[in-house]
Amino acid sequence: MKKLFVMLCMICLAPFVAHAHTTISSSTPGTDEVVTTPLAEYVVEFAAEIEKQSTMSIESNSGEIKFENIVVEDKKILGQLNTPLENGEYTLVWKIAAKDGHIITGDIPFTVSLPKEVEEEAPDSASEENAELDTEQDEVQTDESETTNEEEAQTEQPDLNNESNETEIENETTQENGNTSILIIIFLILLLGAGMIFLFRKKR
């Protein structure tokens, strides 16, 4: 009877012993902590070693947020997020398997309250990248337009030279025609004068 009583006591106390051995030693973030810097890793360390099948996640008003990667090492379980959490209230929920096989769960409530500058840093970086891309595109377009203008100027220059040559040829032709006309007029005047002199002498 006494042995039966001892066995019952051991069975009843076993969960409490396991729980005592797997209490939380430390965590990041801590219980009810206000986080003011972006976190990429969430860590819970226990008083005793835990099994590899242990897991954890984050719960918010929008639903469950799963870690991209979870690492279990000795007494620690670590979860990694690629994107920092936005401002709001969250709960880090953990579920571990103790070495004796008992499954233990718990949660750590915390709040994210990042300064506006830190919260807006990511969008600002994206805007800067877009602005740099726009600037590069504008420079490329400017270079292309300058090249096009130079080609057009080079194309127009021979045309202007041709027009100038044609004008000079026309001027020379006009000048030659004018000189020829003057010579003809002078010749006619001389011929008329000679004819008048000849007639005048004949009358005498």
CB neighbourhood size of 116 (10 A)? 8
Q: Encode pLDDT of 16-51 as tens digits.
A: 444 444 689 999 999 999 999 999 999 999 999 999
Its CATH architecture, for the domain 24-112, is: Sandwich (2.60)
Sign of the alpha-carbon torsion through 149, 155, 158, 160: negative
The mean predicted confidence, pLDDT, of the chain is 78
At 80, the pLDDT band (50, 70, 90 cuts) reads: very high
Confidence of residue 119 (pLDDT cuts 50, 70, 90): low
Helix, strand and coil percent figures for the chain, each rounded to 5: 50, 25, 20
**d(C-alpha 92, C-alpha 27), whole Å:** 10
End-to-end, the C-alpha distance of the chain in Å comes to: 190
pLDDT digits (tens, 9 = 90+) for 124-180: 544 555 556 566 666 656 666 666 666 665 655 555 455 666 666 666 666 666 667
Tell me what pLDDT residue 195 has.
78
